[in-house]
Amino acid sequence: MSIKMNRQGEIVGGTHANPTQILHAIARKVFGEDAQGVITIPEAHEPLPPDEPLPPDEPEGGE
């Protein structure tokens, strides 16, 4: 499997692969061959963790 990316980081070609294979290939490129476990994808039956609330917006202009 190979992935071709443009300078903006968009995948523009390469051999066909599923999204998980693409993510793992990118992780190997960034973190090296020992990138095992860098990307974990939850199984379909696992509930996703709740989103954390965003902090309130600060008014522009400071104090």
- What's the pLDDT tens digit per position in 1-60? 666 777 776 777 766 667 777 777 777 777 777 766 666 666 666 666 778 776 777 777
Domain positions in the chain: 17-41
pTM value is 0.36
Residues 6+ apart with CB under 8 A from 20: 41
Where is 53: in which H helix or E strand?
Answer: none
pLDDT at position 46, please?
Answer: 64
| CB neighbours of residue 28 within 10 Å | 15
What is the predicted pLDDT for the residue at 36? 67
What is the token pair recorded at 20? Answer: 């998980």
Q: Which two tokens stand for residue 51?
A: 């989103």
Answer positive or negative: Cα dihedral of 32, 36, 38, 44. positive
Model pLDDT, residue 42: 62
